[in-house]
Structure 1
Amino acid sequence: MPPNTTASTGQQPGKSGRKKGRRARLVVLLLVLAVIGGVTGGAYWSISTVRASFPQTKGSITLDGLSGPVDVKRDGYGIPQIYASSDEDLFMAQGYVQAQDRFYEMDVRRHMTSGRLSEMFGKSQVDNDEFLRTLGWSRVAQQEYDKTLSPSTKKYLQAYAKGVNAYLDGKDGKEISLEYAALGFTNDYKPEKWTPVDSISWLKAMAWDLRGNMQDEIDRALMTSRLGPKEIADLYPQYPYGRNKTIVQTGRYDEITKTFEGSASAAGSSAGGSTGGTAGTGSASGTAGLQSQLAGLQNVLDDLPTAVGVNGNGIGSNSWVVRGKYTITGKPLLANDPHLSASLPSVWYQMGLHCRSVSSTCQYDVSGYTFAGMPGVIIGHNQNIAWGMTNSGVDVTDLYLEKLSGDGYLYDGKTVPFTTREETIEVAGGEPKKIVVRQTKDGMPLLSDRSTELVKVGRKATVDTAAPDRGDGYAIALRWTALSPGTTMDAVFAMDRAANWSDFRAAAALFDVPSQNLVYADTEDNIGYTLPGKIPTRATGYDGSVPAPGWDSGSRWTGYIDEDELPYEYNPSRGYIVTANQAVIDKAKYPYTLTTDWGYGARSQRITDLIQSKIDDGGKISTEDMRQMQLDNSSEIAKLLVPKLLKIDIDDKDVRDAQELLEGWDYTQDADSAAAAYFNSVWRNILKLAFGNKLPKELRVEGQCLWVEKADTTGPVDEDDNKVRECGERDADQAQPDGGDRWFEVVRSLLDDEKSHWWQTPESVTRPGAVNRDQLFKRAMIDARWELTAKLGKDIDTWSWGRLHRLFLKNQTLGTEGPGFLQYVLNRGPWKLSGGEATVNATGWNAAGGYGVVWVPSMRMVVNLGDLDKSKWINLTGASGHAYSAHYTDQTGKWADGELLDWNFSKDAVDKGTSDTLVLKP
């Protein structure tokens, strides 16, 4: 379900506060349900009904299909460690246990990936289902299961599905989750059995949210309606290779053997190397067609539900590894914190999978993070190695403008017919809807068929088909690596049982979609990095930065980069490897374009500097040092701008008082910092003034809504608390930058050009325009002062960044679009957070909409390869998806405070930490 801006209220909970909050919500829930029961026929929901879906965690349960007993040991946070004597039993138990905790989440996910949300939530989701059916994730997943996955992987997927279905057997909706009981008021939906394809499909959803530069591709093309090539280049600067280190720094590419030698690796063309344009459309009508199609597609994409990210925008991750010569243990330390959208429950599920005795019949001893609905462990460690992931950002999606001709499309001067298929969308409480999906001969679906606005581009839709015959109009098609069957599910199991670097590299080669930066460490004191993935090569003149002309066969992909040519690094002499979405390698060292849109390296360079500083001081890095690095709140853009802001003469005393907050500020964005609050408001207003009125209106992002103290502003009072909901108002004809690290680089590159036209703003009735940088900065400082006065009050002594920068955790279905009482029951928050955009502690916010937290370090971990039992981890929420479980959000308070939990791995450590033991019997 697409998240909206409605959220629950409340203060940041401490331990006692969390218990009190749960009790209060439970009382309210029972009262509400009792009233509803009276209205709907006398049914009464008791506490036992609310708790009916809680998992059994003690005693024993008999499961048909097991070959032997399985022990499920849960610690005080409900995190399960599973012990079995065969692979099939291990994964069957994993399916059963995940279904106990998270089946409703799993069920929603599979309906999203298969384009069947309307079956659960009715007609509001039909448009989303149409688009998701057009992409065809579940169809590709079925092809993977039928054709490309190994027999062992299929066996594990079948065992996992068997475990999920064993849990479902004989249960009605309210016994599975509270949300089903709520859904029962409006439709007669019943959960169906789990299948192996349901597990595989989630990888496609994950790949979609991590798909690379598709949004930049659209944005650059839309910019051509208002900006010239030089201006677009200003907004997509070159990657700063001289200032921010790439991931791979050693080795070389051998042009003769077409391989890397030593520990060499890859890069790509510079970020922003393209000047925009219309990708060779070749005519004014082609340009107009592209603009029209992309504007409509933009609206469709904005409304899509997200899987793990924020519709492909702004997200990143941190992962780094330090070799033993620089650690206190003498063995590597590995840290990882993926930055994903905040969801409740968390996208991650923590667990351990242990064979009682590792052998050919039971091969796994692994612990870490996975997704509810998927067998195996995605990120974590086994008894020999550890690994982490960050999104590589390589360009694996291209948009093509297709010229329609009759019943087909033009291709090298000839009309080629589309391949079509009919899809039926079942709708809860409504009539089924049929659509026709069209795709090109090379498998590219027409995304623009799913936008009703784009019907205007051709003839009116025919009466007897939902796919419009647009005659001689234009359409947008998508080429994406994830639309071909792959082997990523094989890679998951191969990584879980890898024993060394060679095994890990072989496993990584199977991880084709989505392409990720993989960091590695082992107990023998080796570290490494590799970039896997199915990465396309393109013809000369096409770099994937803007949509390409589909009627020219020369614009099509020419192949894929060979596995031997992909970048890697092993035991570099510097003793550490950092990945945080920066460029993989200097473009001069690699012959292929991996992307034109790297992250710009603000986070990666800060991590590098922190590690190198410790090394230069002669110190040894500890697990605690790695944790502190994850929590670094330093603002790189503040270091650049504050000296300029302090030199500006301010006449107004109130504004000058705010300016003085920046004097002596250490640029650290702590939750209690007034200076951080003021600076981030100044930054947001700089972006709005300098760029907001110059960008095409199609790039606008809707304003977010924020809960603030009632005394701070005026607005509709929320009756459940002393808060008001303040929604940012935005000019419908004005776009605004999101404020990410690309905009850091944009402003940095323009900073010395004090009279750049970007700093110039028009005069209005209420205030004079700016003619140079300092005048614009002064205007931003004034606007920020009065913005925060409205939001936080006139007294700057009461200001703090955390009052603006809040995290609300919302159940991603009924917690966003359900009745108000259900939102209160299912949602949690707010938490006042430190950190910010493009900081290591990346609690991201979107300057286009407000200061509220949009994406977060979705989990944090530090693996100690010297003693795995001294590793640490934390999840954003908790193990459970049940709203009144003690483990619904029991990790969130510690996560917000930057704490990590003990991560027990050995059997002795697990036994000592066990609170509940459940035995699954055959």
Structure 2
Amino acid sequence: MSEPSPTPATTPSPDTDPPRRSRWQAFRRAPRPVRWAAWTALGLVLVLLALTAAAVVVVRRPLPQVDGEIEVPGLSASVEVVRDAHGIAQVYADTDADLMFAQGFVHAQERFFEMDVRRHVTAGRLSEIFGAETLETDRFIRTMGWRRVAEQEWALLQPATREALTAYAAGVNAYIADRSPSRLAAEYSILGLTGLDYAPEEWEPVDSLAWLKAMAWDLRGNMDAEVDRVLLSLDHSEEEIAALWPDYPYDEHPPIVSGGGVVDGVFEQNATSNATRNPRRPAYPRGVVEALERVQDRLDAMPELVGRGRGIGSNSWVVDGDHSATGMPLLANDPHLGVSQPGIWMQMGLHCRERTADCTLDTSGFTFSGVPGVIIGHNADIAWGFTNLGPDVTDLFLEQTEGDDRYVRDGATEPLEIRTETIEVRGQDDVELRVRETVHGPLISDVSPEFATVGANAPTDESGERGSGYAVALAWTALEPAPTADAILGLNRASDWDEFRAAAADFAVPAQNLVYADREGHIGYQAPGRIPVRRAGNDGTMPVEGWVSANDWTGDHVPFDGLPSVLDPEEGFIATANQAVIDERYPYLLTHDWDYGYRATRIREALEAEGELSVAEMSELQLDTTNPMAETLVPYLLDVERLPSPYYRNALNLLRDWDHTSPADSAAAAYFNVVWRTLLELTFHDDLRQRTWPDGGDRWFRVVSAMLTEPAGPWWDDAGTEDRVETRDDILRAALIEARDELTRRQSRDPRLWTWGHLHRLNLRNATLGDSGIKPVERLFNRDGWEVGGGSSIVDATSWNAVEGYEVTAAPSMRMVVSLADWDDSRWINLTGVSGHPASSHYSDQTELYVDGETLPWAYTRGAVESAAEDRLVLTPAAE
């Protein structure tokens, strides 16, 4: 082959320019080392291109077929799956069984890896996939026995529920049957590169039941507070501890249900009732505290995937036709949960082409992948929403153990119930776990190997110490088998208030505030849940002596008919945001650890002020960023004198005309929140144990508000300074100065350029591979860096933990507004998207809309669904 002719050029200068040659000539005449380096670089580029192409193939291989036709064994007739532009599926079939089958199929199409990991979580089998790193989580969950309880629940379910679970499982299995792991999820391919040799097992109906235990764990109530109170009791008086857990302010933040009482075991919304309790406090010797610290260490180490039970809550409210611009009820809901990618919810509709005895469903809303039915949403007749009721359904019982297999009870000893569990661990030998239980529940202080000696052969001395002879048992209503799955499908099928309440009666755990509206114009509220009745010696606020049977639960639960409920209240609306359900006259103990009601009060004020709301105004209220602590704290900050220079005073000036809202672009909100975090650190870190440091949420709003009226109160003094006693204004001044300096370092010297969103980032991380430490993998699965407004205990509840920083730790996991006048006028949005595949366009396609405060149209009727249709998949029965 002849070389190409040189490119014509101007004559080079003989003194300064080399002769101009083509790139090809230059390469051919280059010295050999340079030529080899070039070939090597070219080879590397080609290898990288090949690897990139292979990676794209691997990541895209699991994407599901969403149009056309698929033959599927197990169906009785064809099923249509109509997806809109955001991949949200509306399923149409002729029988409930085919609907459940298709729901399982579609869930597996989009999120099977998430489902598979969840069932490994709830069975205590994560280590089979992830190795020794997850062994402690497996130990803890096996000790609690989530899967064992779910298996016991199967027999309690109604036949129709068992049929639905079975059909759902068949649909999942029909999808995964002929697909290799690499065609199910990119995660399996990546884990395969680490040596994982794994093929998913068939889905079992009990796998769906077990996931409800994980949700109950995340919403379990005040278990952490029980431990924290004991730890603080080592260094602080009862009065000081009480100041950190103030009584609920019923006069400032009204409960959900005003008035009412229990008459002959039935709650009547117009009755009154009273009750008293006189709890007995045990002494907490050092051995008890050490056992509780070990338990708390284990709780703190639980992965985010399982849920921490902190910083979560929800908003929901419903207005009647007199308060609605449509003349019919409107219902809003936004549950607050930990943030992850993908998010917890998957939107879907389940529609019978014709309602018959064999086909009863026509429902749409938010679903859990792995669980049949719609969890929150509406059907053709009613709409419903959830917020966490937050009842005290856990207690820690201190146990005196004797030897390895007995424990003390009323002066005698009884045998521990003991079972052995085998945990398979990837890459190493199986691990044997010995689980011990008392009458109160499993000994969770036994969870780790280093805890196994707790309680063994430890005599009691005169001071009451038992060395390592204290164990901690967990009593939790979720460990009692219950037919909660019946409630889910019961809500899906309910057509009126009575049927709604009948379904709610089966909702054992997690106990939720249920708000209701129907097409007849009614609105209502029902508190469901299995809530223990305690004896007088146990008020649920601190661990109690398990060796005294008088402290036991009675074995009864608050009767469902005695739980608060209301239908068509006179004020025309119902607002729930985790505040107290009812006032202190209520005869049963629900909890002492309510949310303090700041969000609820803000919502009530807005509903009262508006008078008549539209769908858009309901959605706008969900985005309210007013900080309730600012109204209290800012006047005190503005009164601080003697700031050192204009540099600091310029920052303070941001607060002078601030409207107390916290949008992402607010400089004043940025400064206030940094001041708030710094104030908590300066005030409490020197006095409290680290694990009890303030997180900055609603309880601390209440605590600090009370302290501000006492400028010389004891909490203000800095324990680290021996030569002076600090006052409130000293701490406020220091907080203002340190916050100014922090924001200068983080953002700008000019306060006008600060933004709250720059600090307050929503980082959506994959629960399994998102923190792998491998940057390309993390970039593939995570969606980080969203700048958001809102904050803790704000209606737009993007919570953050003041101990850790400003990053969002929990947020509205979805938002919905349902119009009972016109289902198709309803709105919804998901935190992420419906797909769990990172290569899917629906992996996070709703997030930007969510962050911008927007919502999507919620098509329900067949005509609206057809108008929004983008893809249509037909599942047809395969020839047997």
Question: CA offset at residue 341 of structure 1?
Answer: 0.5
Aligned partner letter, 1:503 = E
Instruction: For structure 2, list consecutive stretches of 5 or more residues without a partner in the other structure.
Output: 1-43, 459-465
Aligned partner letter, 2:327 = G
- Whether contact under 8 Å (1:448, 1:476) holds in the other structure is yes
Question: Where do 1:554-633 residues align within 5 Å?
Answer: 554-558=550-554, 559-588=556-585, 590-615=586-611, 620-633=612-625
Q: 2:173 aligns with which of 165, 179, 189?
A: 165
1:742 equivalenced with 2:750 (yes/no):
no
1: CA distance, partners of 2:743 / 2:188: 42
Change over 3 Å in CA distance of 1:102–1:55 after alignment to 2? same
Provide the secondary structure at the position in 1 that maps to 2:332.
strand
1:326 equivalenced with 2:323 (yes/no):
yes
Residue aligning to 1:513: 509
Residue aligning to 1:641: 633
Residue aligning to 1:184: 192
Question: CA offset at residue 583 of structure 1?
Answer: 0.2
Aligned partner letter, 1:231 = E
Provide the secondary structure at the position in 2 that maps to 1:57.
coil
- Whether contact under 8 Å (1:96, 1:164) holds in the other structure is yes
Residue aligning to 2:535: 539
1:260 equivalenced with 2:267 (yes/no):
yes
Residue aligning to 2:213: 204
- Whether contact under 8 Å (1:322, 1:575) holds in the other structure is yes
Q: 1:496 aligns with which of 492, 495, 508?
A: 492
1: CA distance, partners of 2:191 / 2:47: 16
2: CA distance, partners of 1:136 / 1:104: 23
Provide the secondary structure at the position in 1 that maps to 2:828.
strand
Provide the secondary structure at the position in 2 that maps to 1:862.
strand
2: CA distance, partners of 1:159 / 1:33: 49
Residue aligning to 1:431: 429
- Whether contact under 8 Å (2:769, 2:778) holds in the other structure is yes
- Whether contact under 8 Å (1:614, 1:621) holds in the other structure is yes
Q: TM-score, normalised by structure 2?
A: 0.91
Question: CA offset at residue 820 of structure 1?
Answer: 2.3
Question: CA offset at residue 686 of structure 1?
Answer: 1.0
1:67 equivalenced with 2:76 (yes/no):
yes
Residue aligning to 2:483: 487
How far does the alpha carbon of each residue in 1:87-121 deviate from its partner, in whole angstroms, 9 at most, with x for none?
10000000000100000110111111111110111
- Whether contact under 8 Å (2:491, 2:503) holds in the other structure is yes
1:174 equivalenced with 2:182 (yes/no):
yes
Instruction: For structure 1, list consecutive stretches of 5 or more residues without a partner in the other structure.
Output: 1-30, 462-469, 700-734
Residue aligning to 2:686: 693
Residue aligning to 2:855: 900
Q: 1:76 aligns with which of 59, 65, 85?
A: 85
Question: CA offset at residue 472 of structure 1?
Answer: 7.2
Residue aligning to 2:726: 771
Question: CA offset at residue 817 of structure 1?
Answer: 2.5
1:52 equivalenced with 2:45 (yes/no):
no
Deviates more, 1:69-78 or 1:399-408: 399-408
1:218 equivalenced with 2:227 (yes/no):
yes
Question: Where do 1:63-212 residues align within 5 Å?
Answer: 63-145=72-154, 147-186=155-194, 187-212=196-221
Q: 1:396 aligns with which of 389, 393, 397?
A: 393
Change over 3 Å in CA distance of 1:487–1:32 after alignment to 2? farther
Residue aligning to 2:665: 672
How far does the alpha carbon of each residue in 1:658-706 deviate from its partner, in whole angstroms, 9 at most, with x for none?
1011010000101111110000011111111111111123x1xxxxxxx
Provide the secondary structure at the position in 2 that maps to 1:814.
coil
Change over 3 Å in CA distance of 1:268–1:319 after alignment to 2? farther
Change over 3 Å in CA distance of 1:814–1:34 after alignment to 2? farther
- Whether contact under 8 Å (1:459, 1:471) holds in the other structure is no
Question: CA offset at residue 456 of structure 1?
Answer: 6.0
2: CA distance, partners of 1:74 / 1:754: 61
Question: Where do 1:746-765 residues align within 5 Å?
Answer: 746-762=703-719, 764=721
Change over 3 Å in CA distance of 1:269–1:520 after alignment to 2? farther
Question: CA offset at residue 655 of structure 1?
Answer: 1.2
- Whether contact under 8 Å (1:289, 1:457) holds in the other structure is no
Change over 3 Å in CA distance of 1:46–1:314 after alignment to 2? closer
Residue aligning to 2:35: none
Q: Decide which structure has the larger Cα Rg and report it.
A: 2
Change over 3 Å in CA distance of 1:815–1:507 after alignment to 2? same
- Whether contact under 8 Å (2:139, 2:448) holds in the other structure is no
Residue aligning to 2:654: 661
Provide the secondary structure at the position in 1 that maps to 2:442.
coil
2: CA distance, partners of 1:847 / 1:743: 11
Aligned partner letter, 1:289 = G
Change over 3 Å in CA distance of 1:747–1:843 after alignment to 2? same
1:916 equivalenced with 2:860 (yes/no):
no
Q: 2:419 aligns with which of 393, 400, 421?
A: 421
Question: CA offset at residue 868 of structure 1?
Answer: 0.5
Provide the secondary structure at the position in 2 that maps to 1:749.
helix
Residue aligning to 2:31: none
2: CA distance, partners of 1:681 / 1:760: 20
How far does the alpha carbon of each residue in 1:734-784 deviate from its partner, in whole angstroms, 9 at most, with x for none?
x5200000000001122211110011114559xx86521111111111111
- Whether contact under 8 Å (1:264, 1:569) holds in the other structure is no
1: CA distance, partners of 2:274 / 2:286: 34
Residue aligning to 1:529: 525
- Whether contact under 8 Å (1:670, 1:801) holds in the other structure is yes
How far does the alpha carbon of each residue in 1:295-347 deviate from its partner, in whole angstroms, 9 at most, with x for none?
111110011123574x1112110000000011111100000000001111010
Aligned partner letter, 2:409 = Y
2: CA distance, partners of 1:741 / 1:661: 24
- Whether contact under 8 Å (2:259, 2:582) holds in the other structure is no
Question: Where do 1:856-875 residues align within 5 Å?
Answer: 856-875=811-830
How far does the alpha carbon of each residue in 1:588-631 deviate from its partner, in whole angstroms, 9 at most, with x for none?
2x11110010000000000000000112xxxx210011011000
1: CA distance, partners of 2:818 / 2:769: 36
Residue aligning to 2:22: none
Deviates more, 1:531-540 or 1:756-765: 756-765
Residue aligning to 2:33: none
Question: CA offset at residue 458 of structure 1?
Answer: 4.7
Change over 3 Å in CA distance of 1:635–1:44 after alignment to 2? closer
- Whether contact under 8 Å (2:402, 2:456) holds in the other structure is no
Provide the secondary structure at the position in 2 that maps to 1:128.
helix
Aligned partner letter, 1:736 = W
Q: TM-score, normalised by structure 1?
A: 0.87
Question: Where do 1:328-343 residues align within 5 Å?
Answer: 328-343=325-340
Residue aligning to 2:369: 372
- Whether contact under 8 Å (2:833, 2:842) holds in the other structure is yes
User: RMSD of the TM alignment (CA)?
Assistant: 2.1
Aligned partner letter, 1:357 = E
Change over 3 Å in CA distance of 1:34–1:739 after alignment to 2? farther
Query: How many percent identity over aligned positions?
Result: 50
Question: CA offset at residue 226 of structure 1?
Answer: 1.1
Aligned partner letter, 1:747 = V
Question: CA offset at residue 252 of structure 1?
Answer: 3.2
Provide the secondary structure at the position in 2 that maps to 1:478.
strand
Question: CA offset at residue 816 of structure 1?
Answer: 1.7
2: CA distance, partners of 1:794 / 1:364: 60
2: CA distance, partners of 1:168 / 1:266: 56
Question: CA offset at residue 250 of structure 1?
Answer: 3.8
Count, aligned residues: 823
Aligned partner letter, 1:643 = P
2: CA distance, partners of 1:220 / 1:226: 11
How far does the alpha carbon of each residue in 1:200-224 deviate from its partner, in whole angstroms, 9 at most, with x for none?
0000000001001111111111111
Q: 1:819 aligns with which of 771, 774, 783?
A: 774
Residue aligning to 1:289: 287
- Whether contact under 8 Å (1:209, 1:306) holds in the other structure is no
